[in-house]
Amino acid sequence: MPSAGFVLSIHVRPHFPPKPTPTAVPIYEYIAADPEKSCRICSKGFELMRPMDRPPLEHCHLCKNPVKKLVSQVNTPKVTKPLSVSDAKSKGFTIMKRRDKGVYEKL
């Protein structure tokens, strides 16, 4: 039988296992318990990302002197005032006002 003039190629993608669910990894701040005996990194303080399920760091990785965990600033969302009707309309929202039970009117 003569060749039809084409090549059949099959691309098989390798199977990868699903990625694990990411765990929360906050940033902790540490500083040397005794700045006189510590290295320049931990005497000024440093940040370290650690999973929440791990215990706090007790010693500097470089100089092995004790460190203590600092209380860091917390990122809180700013409280804003509610949008006015004109602000909401300019942002593209549809404003409805309740006229009766289950009846709304578009403003």
pLDDT in tens, 87-107: 888 888 888 888 888 888 887
Residues 51-62, mean pLDDT to the nearest whole number: 88
Residue 4 lies in a domain: no
Residue 98 lies in a domain: no
Q: Establish if 34 belongs to a structural domain.
A: yes
Note if the pTM is more than 0.85: no
**Is position 96 within any domain?**
no
Range of the domain at 64: 27-69
Q: Are strands 27-32 and 67-69 parallel, antiparallel or unpaired?
A: antiparallel
55 found inside a domain = yes
The alpha carbon of residue 11 and the mean position of all alpha carbons in its chain are separated, in whole angstroms, by: 36
Alpha carbon of 94 to those of 45, 71, 80, 87, 106: distances in Å?
Answer: 51, 44, 20, 11, 7
Nearest-angstrom CA–CA distance, 69 and 30: 4
53 inside domain: yes
Split into its structural domains, the chain has a count of 1
